[in-house]
A and B are shown apart, each in its own frame.
Chain A
């Protein structure tokens, strides 16, 4: 790619990252099987 002669160098520090951040994938939690009800002694 012929872009011609160099002219000057700039320092560029973007405030926002130019690399898009991926949304973190939320790992699916296994559905907890509810514990069977325990008998509560009657008062």
Chain B
């Protein structure tokens, strides 16, 4: 028998940040770097989207599965303690507001020093910071209704994120 038995029978759970994207069907989650929309009801399956320059393409023509240790591909998640760095530093204050939350990771999961890169993922629990959404003219409740399409809990966070995040992480 050549098939390797799995190491784990439950998904890994990490934290991540998403952009909120207004799609024809309503607001959806979108990845920060590659702008991939996460479809409700379907796992996001990774493929290597790394951009290569012409020369590196010539040097590295092989297509590989994601995640690959020698690449930077895969669906990213980090530990709760690391998330505040991303929430406070930037994306949450951009005009296109962000959501954050827990994500299930499975398939091939590459464990890294401060997080994971996975081949498959789906949101597990979503949090919407209300204040930045209101500041940018969005209705937090309306967006929460749209995100309910993912079939996972969606919570509005009214408090300051710096103080709320540790408590949310501990309660998870």
- Residue ranges of A at the interface with B (Cβ–Cβ < 8 Å): 1-16, 18-22
Closest 5 CB pairs of A and B: A4-B113, A3-B115, A20-B151, A18-B104, A13-B6
Knowing A10-B8, A11-B4, A15-B9, say if A3 contacts B76 (CB, 8 Å).
yes
Q: How far is the CB of A21 from chain B (nearest CB, A)?
A: 8
Judging by beta carbons under 8 Å apart, are B69 and A18 in contact?
Answer: no
- Residue ranges of B at the interface with A (Cβ–Cβ < 8 Å): 4, 6-12, 16-17, 32, 41-43, 67, 69, 76-78, 82, 86, 104-118, 122, 124, 150-152
Judging by beta carbons under 8 Å apart, are B113 and A10 in contact?
Answer: no
Selected from B17, B32, B69, B124, the residue in CB contact (under 8 A) with A9 is B69
Judging by beta carbons under 8 Å apart, are B108 and A1 in contact?
Answer: no
Task: Give every chain B residue within 8 A of A5 (Cβ-Cβ).
Answer: 112-113
Judging by beta carbons under 8 Å apart, are B104 and A9 in contact?
Answer: no
Q: How far is the CB of B5 from chain A (nearest CB, A)?
A: 8
Q: 28 A-B pairs, CB-CB below 8 angstroms?
A: A1-B17, A2-B114, A3-B76, A3-B77, A3-B78, A3-B115, A4-B112, A4-B113, A7-B110, A9-B69, A10-B108, A10-B110, A11-B7, A11-B107, A11-B109, A12-B7, A12-B11, A12-B106, A12-B108, A12-B109, A13-B8, A13-B9, A15-B10, A16-B10, A18-B104, A18-B122, A20-B41, A20-B151
Task: Give every chain B residue within 8 A of A1 (Cβ-Cβ).
Answer: 16-17, 32, 76, 78, 86, 115
Task: Give every chain A residue within 8 A of B10 (Cβ-Cβ).
Answer: 12, 14-16
Given contacts A11-B8, A12-B109, 17 further A-B pairs with CB under 8 A are A1-B16, A1-B17, A1-B78, A1-B86, A3-B112, A3-B114, A7-B113, A9-B110, A11-B108, A12-B105, A13-B8, A13-B106, A15-B9, A18-B106, A18-B124, A19-B42, A20-B151
Selected from A4, A9, A16, the residue in CB contact (under 8 A) with B108 is A9
Complex CA gap A7/B112 in Å reads 5
